């Protein structure tokens, strides 16, 4: 088993509007978190949305998805 070093990443959360935020890692857009409706929605890709309980959970979902594919 190989040892992997922890590598620092820059997570950026940018407010697009009052209720829509964009999450980026190292300038790669992961998705958006939409708090405009009665439920918080995470846009993971062009055809994938997920309902979450909080903004923080939305960020965690986006980071987890990023880690699966990078």
What is the β-pairing status of strands 40-45 and 48-52?
Answer: antiparallel
Task: Give the chain's domain count.
Answer: 1
Residue 35 in any domain: the answer is: yes
State phi, psi for 16 to the nearest 5 degrees: -80, -45
48 lies in a domain? yes
Output the pLDDT for position 36: 95
- Is 18 domain-assigned? yes
Quick one: pLDDT at residue 1?
Answer: 55
**pTM across the whole model:** 0.83
Residue 61 maps to a domain: no
In a domain, 26, yes or no: yes
| Exposure b/e, 40-67, CB count within 10 A at least 16 = b | bbbbbeeeeeeebeeeeebbebbeebbe
Helix (H) or strand (E) holding 36: none
What domain range includes position 47? Answer: 9-52
Q: By the 8 A CB rule, do 52 and 21 touch?
A: no
Assess if residue 4 is contained within a domain: no
- 7-65 tens-digit pLDDT: 777 899 999 999 999 999 988 899 999 999 999 999 998 889 999 999 999 999 999 99
């Amino acid at each position: 088993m190989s040892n992997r070093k922890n590598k620092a990443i820059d997570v950026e959360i940018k407010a697009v509007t009052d209720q829509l935020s964009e999450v980026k890692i190292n300038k790669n857009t992961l998705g958006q978190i939409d708090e405009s409706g009665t439920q918080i929605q995470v846009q993971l890709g062009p055809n994938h949305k997920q309902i979450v309980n909080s903004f923080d959970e939305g960020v965690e979902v986006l980071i987890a998805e990023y880690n699966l594919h990078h």
